[in-house]
Structure 1
């Protein structure tokens, strides 16, 4: 069975640097509940340099808790992080600014385009 959350964090860890997080420094722990268990993911950010681990990283600046099923939908682009917070499906404690910055790296809906790519393609396809 595929695990979108694990795939998301593993891919993020392989990036090493994420420009969208360059104004962030801190550690975010994600506690994601499923099947009477909790998956823990640690996201350590230092001015855009990211490291992902499931090993204890000591003190954390922000703790995000919720269901892994909800997070699976978010990282699959089928739901939005803010909407999950509004519905109380996810909770953030500590430096919630870090949790808000993490939203920047969440995938959009399937088939979505980056606004700049969309504008460039629209300009190319415009009749002369």
Structure 2
């Protein structure tokens, strides 16, 4: 619940510090960017308190986040970009607090990788390293 509270407080602090003359406009634009959480509707279950949003939901992955970051530097999209970056930062912090990671890495269950990598050419021994993901 504290995490959701921060989604309303942090944009207010940013708007108050950097957009004082247009506080309400800046604050409301940054709050509206919470619609990015609509991608949670694609997940099953829709809400999982132990799931890390960053890297799991489509609009919370690295490619969209890069676009959000770039939007921060374009005057007409700056407030939208800031709202989205604040949102992603708060979600990433929540991942760290709840799961001990900054982002979710998806490894499809269909992948079954079994390779033996000979380390002998690197260490002049007959050691082998086996990687198995299932």
Taking structure 1 as the reference length, the TM-score comes to: 0.31
Structure (1 or 2) with the larger CA radius of gyration: 2
Taking structure 2 as the reference length, the TM-score comes to: 0.30
Higher helix proportion: 2
